């Protein structure tokens, strides 16, 4: 009985192979005689390198930002009268994508931002100072502060936004390279 099943399976396999070869031009079916591979990326197409793409970390103390009404005095921990809070912004999710280019590793850093209005806040536009930085051990490879505008619609009280920085180029990135994102209340400067 097992010999009969074997012959039946062999016959079905051969029939399937022959049915798949319905083209009369066998060289085109098997790509014989082709000199180039059309499926390979061209030299101008950047190569995605997720395996060596550094992860983004939210630095302690920079993932939450509170803005109070002008003239409000803050204590040493950065807190003030909660009734004078205009809004609180929280960075709570990150992702990234990397491409290898001639200039170095090009990273698109993406951060999810949530803004909640406080008692002194009102619907409208606000600006968040978001810094993206990269280090490799003790060496800083990249650091730039971006003013990110957000608008909380009337009647909402909160909003969720996506911050994207797509021009981060890392030269000399290695196995210890780490990306950081955070809200930077320091003076505005780039690099």
Domain assignments of the chain as residue spans, ordered by start: 47-183
Provide the residue-wise pLDDT of the chain in tens; the chain has 191 residues.
555 554 545 554 444 444 444 444 434 444 444 444 444 444 555 666 666 789 999 988 899 999 999 989 888 887 889 999 999 999 999 999 998 888 888 999 999 999 999 999 999 999 999 999 999 888 999 999 999 999 999 999 999 999 999 989 998 777 788 999 999 986 544 44
Q: How many CA atoms lie within 13 A of 115 on its CB side?
A: 26
pLDDT of residue 15: 45
pLDDT of residue 19: 44
With tokens 């939450």, the residue in question is 64
pLDDT of residue 60: 84
Q: Hey, which CATH number is domain 47-183, 2.60.40, 2.170.16, 2.20.25, 3.50.4? A: 2.60.40
**Strands in 56-137 per DSSP E:** 56-58, 64-68, 85-101, 104-117, 124-136
How far from each other are the two terminal CA atoms of the chain, in whole angstroms?
77
Among residues 113, 107, 106, the alpha carbon closest in space to that of 128 is found at: 113
pTM above 0.85, yes or no: no
């Amino acid at each position: 009985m097992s010999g009969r099943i074997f012959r039946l399976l062999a016959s079905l396999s051969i029939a399937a192979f022959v049915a798949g070869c319905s083209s009369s031009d066998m060289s085109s079916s098997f790509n014989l005689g082709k000199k180039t591979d059309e499926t390979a990326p061209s030299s101008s197409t950047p190569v995605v390198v997720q395996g060596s793409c550094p992860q983004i970390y939210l630095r302690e103390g920079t993932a939450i930002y509170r803005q109070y009404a002008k003239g409000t005095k803050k204590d040493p921990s950065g807190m003030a009268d909660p009734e004078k809070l205009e809004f609180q912004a929280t960075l709570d999710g990150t992702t990234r994508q990397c491409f290898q280019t001639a200039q170095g590793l090009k990273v698109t850093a993406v951060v999810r931002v949530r803004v909640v209005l406080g008692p002194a806040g009102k619907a409208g536009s606000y600006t968040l100072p978001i810094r993206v930085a990269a280090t490799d051990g003790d060496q800083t490879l990249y650091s730039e502060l971006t003013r990110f505008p957000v608008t909380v619609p009337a009647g909402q009280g909160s909003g969720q936004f996506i911050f994207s920085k797509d021009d981060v180029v890392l030269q000399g990135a290695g196995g210890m390279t780490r990306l950081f994102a955070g809200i930077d209340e320091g003076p505005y400067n780039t690099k």
